[in-house]
Amino acid sequence: MRKIVAFEHMTLDGYVSSGKGMGFEWTNRAYDDELSTFAQHIQEDFDLPVYGRETYLGMAGYWSTQPTEESTDVEREHAAWVNAVPKIVVSTTLASADWNNTRLVRGDLAEEFGRLKETEGGTIAIYASPKLVHSFLALGLVDEFRIVVHPVVIGGGTPLFPAGTDLELDLLESRVLSAGAAYLRYGVA
């Protein structure tokens, strides 16, 4: 059985989006070569990226034009993977999903992703997309969180866990990175 993982970058005060621009400009302080390389470890078992509409539009807009001559080796490797792998965007407002190998899902999330969890394959990974993560949490679909906590406090935005979330978690892995970010991997107990 496949699992669904929420892969998030989070501020120390619990926010995953600032609500400004793409919402994650605060990651720049600790997003260095070490974290970029470590992200490959975090994602090594992912084979089905899932995005909400806003994240999808940003990711498709950026990664569909990569790599460029300025891209690092890590960026080139990720671009090759993300442009080739099957992807899902969950949206009730998008008319189509035009990024290579992307399928648009509009219907019953519990039914669609419950069925996907029963299929053969690797890990299903929600990238960022906090509103989508909130929907998955409400349906009990999230099996694991892989969180990079950044050494910044932004005082507001979209939290990873909405008010009223009640979860017990088991720490599966952790690592502190030299620029001050900390990686935490939790399974839902």
What burial class does residue 30 get, using C-beta atoms within 10 Å of its C-beta: 0-12 exposed, 13-18 middle, 19+ buried?
buried
- Report the chain (189 residues): mean pLDDT per 10 consecutive residues: 97 96 90 94 97 94 92 91 96 95 96 96 97 97 98 97 97 98 98
Instruction: Give yes or no for a contact between 56 and 63, defined as CB atoms under 8 angstroms apart.
Output: no
Q: Which of 112, 105, 147, 151 is nearest to 130 (CA)?
A: 147
CA angle 91, 107, 121 (to 5 degrees): 90
Q: Which of 22, 19, 32 is nearest to 127 (CA)?
A: 22
Residue 89: CB atoms within 10 Å: 25
Radius of gyration of the chain (CA): 16
> What pLDDT sits at residue 172?
98
> What pLDDT sits at residue 22?
80
What burial class does residue 61 get, using C-beta atoms within 10 Å of its C-beta: 0-12 exposed, 13-18 middle, 19+ buried?
exposed
Instruction: Identify the residue whose tokens are 């605060």.
Output: 26
Q: Which residues contact 32 (CB under 8 A, 6 or more apart)?
A: 177, 178, 179
Q: Does the reported pTM lie above 0.75?
A: yes
Alpha-carbon span 181 to 18, nearest angstrom: 17
> What pLDDT sits at residue 121?
96
Alpha-carbon span 186 to 143, nearest angstrom: 9
Domains of the chain, start order: 4-188 (3.40.430.10)
Q: Which of 154, 136, 158 is nearest to 145 (CA)?
A: 136
Alpha helices in 88-148, H assignment, sequence order: 109-117, 130-138
Instruction: Give yes or no for a contact between 70 and 36, defined as CB atoms under 8 angstroms apart.
Output: no
> What pLDDT sits at residue 21?
81
Tokens of 180: 């001050």
